[in-house]
Amino acid sequence: MSTDRMDEAMAYGTAQYADVIAHLQAAGLPATFTQTGGMCAALEVTLDNGQTLLITDAEDTLSWDRDTHQGWSVGRYPRHSEYDDGPLAFETTEDGSLSALLPLVHTVLGVTTT
């Protein structure tokens, strides 16, 4: 894929999830839209400790088109990890709403909320 087409694809994905990215950023999580290889989309958050959160659809990579997004999965990966090493923590929900995401992130981070 040419650089121009890749830039267009990434801009499209970022626009599709702009509200989710803004929601995560407002919660102090510096989220960005990324692709993890082979055009597999995800939202990525690099934590202060160097670990990474990858946020995808419940059953697969993040849908490029928000209209086909289904559920959420959040994995927390060690710093400098190849994602093939597996997550330190992983949670999923079939609820694809924006309100379902932060509680899932908090669970993966080990944050208790009252």
Please write the tens of the pLDDT for every residue from 57-109: 999 999 999 999 999 999 999 987 555 678 999 999 999 999 999 999 999 99
Considering the chain, what is the average pLDDT of its residues?
91
In a domain, 50, yes or no: yes
- pLDDT at residue 24, rounded to an integer: 98
- Cα separation of 70 and 83, whole Å? 22
Residue 114 is assigned to a structural domain of this protein: no
pTM of the model: 0.90
The predicted pLDDT at position 96 comes to 96
- Residue 46: count other Cβ atoms within 10 Å of its Cβ: 14
Q: Note down the domain range covering 69.
A: 3-109
Is there a domain that residue 51 lies in? yes
Q: Residue 40: helix, strand or coil by DSSP? A: coil
Could you tell me what percentage of the chain is helix, strand and coil, using 3-state DSSP and rounding each to the nearest 5?
Answer: 35, 25, 40
Q: Is 43 within the bounds of a domain?
A: yes
The pLDDT tens digits for 34-60 are: 998 888 999 999 999 999 999 999 999
Are residues 50 and 80 in contact, defined by beta-carbon separation less than 8 angstroms?
Answer: yes
78 lies in some domain: yes
Count: domains in the chain: 1
Helix (H) or strand (E) holding 43: strand 41-46
Q: Is residue 44 part of a domain?
A: yes
